[in-house]
Amino acid sequence: MVLADPEKSLSGCFWKAVPYDERQAQMIAQKWNIPVLLADIITSKGITAEDVPAFLEPKIQTLMPNPSVMKDVDKASSLIAQAIINKQKIGIIGDYDVDGATSSSVLRLFLESVGISPEVHIPDREEGYGPSIQAFDDFKKQGINFVVTTDCGTAAFDVLKYAKEHGFCVIVLDHHEAEVKLPAVDAVVNPKRLDEDNTYPYLKYMAAVGVVFLVVVAVNRELRKSGFYQNHPEPQLLQWLDLVALGTICDVVPLIGLNRAFVRQGLKIMAQRQNVGLKALIDKAGLTEAPTAYHLGYILGPRINAGGRVGDPSLGNKLLCCHNEKEAETIAAQLNEFNNQRKDIENYVLIEAITQLEGKTSDYPIAFVAGKNWHQGVIGIVAGKLKERYNLPAFVMSVEDDEVKGSARSIPQVDLGSLIIAAKEKGIITKGGGHTMAAGYSLEEDKVEDFRHFVGEYVQKQIGNETIVPIIEYEAIIDLRGATSDLAESLKMLEPYGAGNQEPKLVIKNVRFKKSTIVGSGHVRCFLSSDNGGSLKAMAFRAADNDLGQAMLMRHNDVFDVLGTLRTDNWLGRNSVQFIIEDAKRVTQ
């Protein structure tokens, strides 16, 4: 089903209904006694009637397999357990993003709970992503020769070869795209290893923090079998699911299978405010309700990320492992300030990038920009915003004195992880890695033009000659009177939302904008009304200066179809509902 009007919307997009099997939806509605519209949406996500309970009530104990199903888990867990028993000094190398902070923190907190105080090394952006010779040299000076890398290491061949040559036992816990070749270390646990048999295919979608949690479960099992806990209290592993949820959401991995259970259960743990650092950050951010996946991705995550972007990259790990409330409050305040600085720097770089692109023709379907000494901490965010603005793969580079460092964000048609591996194999870039939709890389300045041609031709081959038209998919069409609190409450059954399980978008037909006004930082608030009766509070964020916002403010007599999300609104204790407008299309009378 599609809207009768096939023309572009006010935002220049086409709308497309997500297809679903109507007979399957009816079966689901009857079998599980849920609203038909909810069953339609569940069916559109490819969920069968048998899988509905696992989707609506995902449970760790039913979705998490024996960790040993992954390659090298037994080897890694045995080595770590033996290091714990022998009271060895252990070093941890993490990444400077949220997944890096949470994965290094889960491992650190577990080790601390069993009597080991590890040294954690989080590189800054000058040092670069992943393990470095500097990190291993520093560990050697501290008498550490047992190192675990988290959220990094799969592609660090030269550095890890150096580590092994200098007597280190090295274990890699990662989730980034792997090549046929693996680093010559003691164990590589990565569900994206090409030799994994994928008995549980959803494991390859885990963030690094999920991989670390599974390994911690395996280590805990080894310690229990060895009798270690006869003289030591056994930790409750589920207490760290709040960190697993945070890293999973912020690394934008698909919320399917085990990931969905991680987030659902982790949010419950987070609501208990047991983690001193998270509690301080939540309070500093002004959250007064139980955190949702949205809060993790857009409120808490950016603050932790800010340390790695424009401040001290070690602050995320320090905060999440903090046990002193005063210290946690201080770190949370620092991260909050760094986040404010990040926003200012990001806006500057974004304007510079748009200026390079606007009004110029490109021979390739990419957004490709570079600037002298653009702050490396924001180029990934800017790449994401350029991708959204132009609906093209975006490559943003900071030209430094010694090398060019870049970040990329993609569209569904182009796999960046494979692109970066191919560019590295051809010697166009010096290093890099990433996922399907995001990647980071480095190259020499004289190779920038070669890289532009390479990615341009790569992307052109992937998408062909078809014009990439931005499309917004929606799950259902409803009447204004159908936008009720009951419907909004039933949609909550589909949470948590995120990659792989987007919040359902609805289309409300034939409405007018009434009592429109600008609120906050360019948001437009109004009431929707229709000739069939009914009224609904609505909001369009950051829309005051675009076509959507102007239509809401000026076109009170025109009729529109609006597309967006229906949410409960509990502001000041009132139990009501509002519609978040993402787009609109004028209806020809």
Q: Exposed, middle or buried: residue 469 (CB in 10 Å: 0-12, 13-18, 19+)?
A: exposed
* Contact in structure between 448 and 370 (CB atoms under 8 Å): yes
Strand 91-93 to 146-150 pairing: parallel
243-292 pLDDT per residue, tens: 999 999 999 899 999 999 999 999 999 999 999 999 999 999 999 889 99
Give the pLDDT mean for 73-82: 98
Strand 560-569 to 576-586 pairing: antiparallel
Give the pLDDT mean for 221-248: 97
58 CB neighbour count, 10 Å cutoff: 21
Name the CATH superfamily, with its identifier, for domain 1-18+475-589: Nucleic acid-binding proteins (2.40.50.140)
pLDDT interval class at 466 (50, 70, 90): low
pTM score, two decimals?
A: 0.85
The rounded distance, in Å, linking the Cα atoms of 367 and 378 is 16
Least confident of 84-93, 329-338, 384-393: 384-393
Q: Is the pLDDT of residue 2 over 60?
A: no
Please name the residues in contact with 382: beta carbons below 8 A apart, sequence gap of 6 or more.
Answer: 346, 349, 350, 353, 374, 396, 407
574 compared with 14, residue with greater pLDDT: 14
Give the pLDDT mean for 188-192: 97
Least confident of 91-100, 353-362, 555-564: 353-362
337-365 pLDDT per residue, tens: 999 999 999 999 999 999 999 878 788 99
pLDDT of residue 437: 87
Q: Report which of 90, 92, 105 is spatially closest to residue 304, judged by C-alpha positions.
A: 105
pLDDT of residue 467: 62
Give the pLDDT mean for 221-245: 97
Please name the residues in contact with 210: beta carbons below 8 A apart, sequence gap of 6 or more.
Answer: 175, 244, 247, 248, 253, 258, 259, 262
DSSP string, 366-409: SEEEEEET--TTTHHHHHHHHHHHHSS-EEEEEE-SS-EEEEEE
Amino acid at 420: I
pLDDT of residue 284: 95
Q: Exposed, middle or buried: residue 541 (CB in 10 Å: 0-12, 13-18, 19+)?
A: middle
* Contact in structure between 182 and 188 (CB atoms under 8 Å): yes
Q: Is the pLDDT of residue 105 over 70?
A: yes
Q: Is the pLDDT of residue 139 over 90?
A: yes
The rounded distance, in Å, linking the Cα atoms of 459 and 550 is 35
Where do the domains of the chain lie?
1-18+475-589, 21-50, 62-336, 361-463
Residue 118, preceding peptide bond in cis (omega within 30° of 0): no
Query: Which CATH number describes the domain made up of 62-336?
Result: 3.90.1640.30
Average pLDDT over all residues of the chain: 92
465 CB neighbour count, 10 Å cutoff: 6
Give the pLDDT mean for 100-123: 97
Least confident of 49-58, 234-243, 305-314, 320-329: 305-314
490-543 pLDDT per residue, tens: 999 999 998 889 999 999 999 999 999 999 889 999 999 998 888 999 999 989
β strands within 174-235, DSSP E:
187-189
Q: Exposed, middle or buried: residue 461 (CB in 10 Å: 0-12, 13-18, 19+)?
A: exposed
Q: Is the pLDDT of residue 464 over 80?
A: no
Q: Is the pLDDT of residue 441 over 90?
A: yes
The rounded distance, in Å, linking the Cα atoms of 80 and 523 is 52
109 compared with 469, residue with greater pLDDT: 109
Query: Which CATH number describes the domain made up of 361-463?
Result: 3.10.310.30
Strand 431-434 to 438-443 pairing: antiparallel
50 CB neighbour count, 10 Å cutoff: 9
Q: Is the pLDDT of residue 571 over 70?
A: no
- Enter the DSSP assignment of 125: T
409-437 pLDDT per residue, tens: 998 889 998 999 999 999 999 988 877 88
Please name the residues in contact with 217: beta carbons below 8 A apart, sequence gap of 6 or more.
Answer: 64, 67, 237
Give the pLDDT mean for 153-170: 96
Q: Report which of 106, 418, 438 is spatially closest to residue 277, judged by C-alpha positions.
A: 106
Q: Is the pLDDT of residue 574 over 80?
A: no
* Contact in structure between 279 and 264 (CB atoms under 8 Å): no
| Alpha carbon of residue 557 to chain centroid | 41
Q: Is the pLDDT of residue 207 over 80?
A: yes
